[in-house]
Amino acid sequence: MIRKKLTKTLITGLTLSLILLTGCGKDKEKETTEATTQTEAVISIESEDTMTNPSDITVVTKEGYVLSELTGEWIDEKLENQRPLCIMINNIIDAMPQSGISQADITYEMLVEGSITRYMCVFKDYDNIEKLGPVRSSRHYYVEKAHMLGDLYAHYGWTSFAEEKIYQLGVDNMNGIEGVGNVMYYRDESRYAPHNVYTDGEMINAGIEYMGYSKEYEDSFQKSFAFNLEDTDLEGGITASNVTMPFNAYYTPWFEYDSEAKLYKRFQYDEAQIDQETGEQLAYKNILAIYAPYSPIHDVLLQIDWYAGGSGYYISNGKAINITWRNENGVVKYYDESGAQLKMNPGKTFVEVLDSNGSGDVVFE
């Protein structure tokens, strides 16, 4: 067997310059000191060629930072092994506008009973959340998704199926109707129940400590997503300036592409969706619209088969491409038409989980 290994290190032009200027008030002669410090992104490219197993490995480093497994963006290296918080958020019209969800790295939207949807928002860094909610109850297929993302799961109430799934999978959960509720959640009296349960960064950390949960990943954790090193336009694909998600005849949220910001702005209930804390419209770099099989259980409740696999779309920078998804060792991953793992653009992602048994086609305009 012939084996060759090539290693090449490149110092890129991705530098950050800091210029410090100091002056002497109104003196005619000003003393100016300029100091420039550079943080260099070092790209180490290693390729191994063998007769049986060719591979390419690219490693990017930046002093003091790591690339987030949820967004592909640089974050403080102290967060590298921190498990993200997955938290259930109300999404019916009586709960609008929601608070704090624009900070989520990933937002999952799935159907629940009654033809409505609920969110699971995922936060890598939750220390600085000022107000988040309204928090709502768990469903077992959200529990399964939280398990894939690190097992730190927050909710206010549950179904019997969700309770069973939490204990079956060993998910570290913080349920507001149990003892942690007084530690981690509060009710905003300006709203009416059950749409008035909220939390914040300090309370989230207090809840994790109260329950005795570790904030760090286990060694066996698998990443769900892959990212480009920099923003990359999709080749070919479908024009996707406006994208409508047909959950059912009663609920069809949509996104409009802002070509200047290169983000998708979200609309639902016939208006722009706003984060109450910022007053700004929700906007995302990436959209994943996937089809998964929902089926009814126990009269009105639903379930999702996360092992079935299926099709969908990846949408970014005004274009959409066909993708597939499949469950690999208990984790859902996404693939492009060539069969390679999908690489998304760095940024926040909104994941729409449509019903392959009932939702219509995504509408692109």
pLDDT-derived band at 56, boundaries 50, 70, 90: low
In a domain, 72, yes or no: no
Q: What CATH number corresponds to the domain at position 324?
A: 3.50.90.10
Domain end among 17, 32, 63: 63
Confidence (pTM): 0.86
Domain coverage including residue 104? 78-365
Task: Tell me, yes or no, whether 10 and 84 share the same domain.
Answer: no
What's phi and psi for 183, nearest 5 deg? -90, -40
In a domain, 231, yes or no: yes
Task: Tell me, yes or no, whether 27 and 87 share the same domain.
Answer: no
pLDDT-derived band at 109, boundaries 50, 70, 90: very high
Task: Tell me, yes or no, whether 30 and 178 share the same domain.
Answer: no
In this prediction, residues 115-127 reach a mean pLDDT of 97
Task: Tell me, yes or no, whether 94 and 54 share the same domain.
Answer: no
Which stretches of the chain are DSSP H helices? 140-149, 160-169, 181-184, 201-211
In this prediction, residues 264-291 reach a mean pLDDT of 98
What's phi and psi for 164, nearest 5 deg? -60, -40
Residue among 354, 219, 198, 159 nearest 277 (CA): 198
CB 243, CB 255: distance < 8 Å:
yes
Identify the residue with better confidence: 53 or 159: 159
CB 346, CB 230: distance < 8 Å:
yes
As a whole number, the mean pLDDT across the chain is: 88
What's the structural domain count of the chain?
2
Residue among 236, 237, 70, 49 nearest 150 (CA): 70
Among 19-28, 107-116, 199-208, 273-282, the minimum mean pLDDT is found in 19-28
Residue 299 confidence (pLDDT) = 81
pLDDT-derived band at 60, boundaries 50, 70, 90: confident
In a domain, 232, yes or no: yes
Q: Identify the H or E element spanning 286.
A: strand 286-292
CB 177, CB 196: distance < 8 Å:
no
Task: Tell me, yes or no, whether 247 and 150 share the same domain.
Answer: yes
Among 30-34, 146-150, 239-243, 287-291, the minimum mean pLDDT is found in 30-34
Tokens encoding 65: 């930072």
Task: Tell me, yes or no, whether 32 and 129 share the same domain.
Answer: no
In a domain, 177, yes or no: yes
Task: Tell me, yes or no, whether 23 and 151 share the same domain.
Answer: no
pLDDT-derived band at 196, boundaries 50, 70, 90: very high
Tokens encoding 347: 């940024």
Task: Tell me, yes or no, whether 129 and 39 share the same domain.
Answer: no
Task: Tell me, yes or no, whether 21 and 163 share the same domain.
Answer: no
Q: Identify the H or E element spanning 55.
A: strand 55-62
In this prediction, residues 328-348 reach a mean pLDDT of 97
Residue among 257, 232, 235 nearest 244 (CA): 257
Task: Tell me, yes or no, whether 244 and 298 share the same domain.
Answer: yes
Domain end among 14, 29, 63: 63
Task: Tell me, yes or no, whether 164 and 190 share the same domain.
Answer: yes
Domain end among 13, 34, 63: 63
pLDDT-derived band at 58, boundaries 50, 70, 90: low
> What distance in Å separates the CA atoms of residue 308 and residue 327, rounded to the nearest whole number?
8
In a domain, 44, yes or no: yes
In a domain, 69, yes or no: no
CB 273, CB 101: distance < 8 Å:
no
Task: Tell me, yes or no, whether 160 and 42 share the same domain.
Answer: no
In a domain, 140, yes or no: yes
pLDDT-derived band at 298, boundaries 50, 70, 90: confident
In this prediction, residues 26-45 reach a mean pLDDT of 39
In a domain, 73, yes or no: no
**Strand 343-344 to 226-227 pairing:** parallel
Residue 57 confidence (pLDDT) = 58
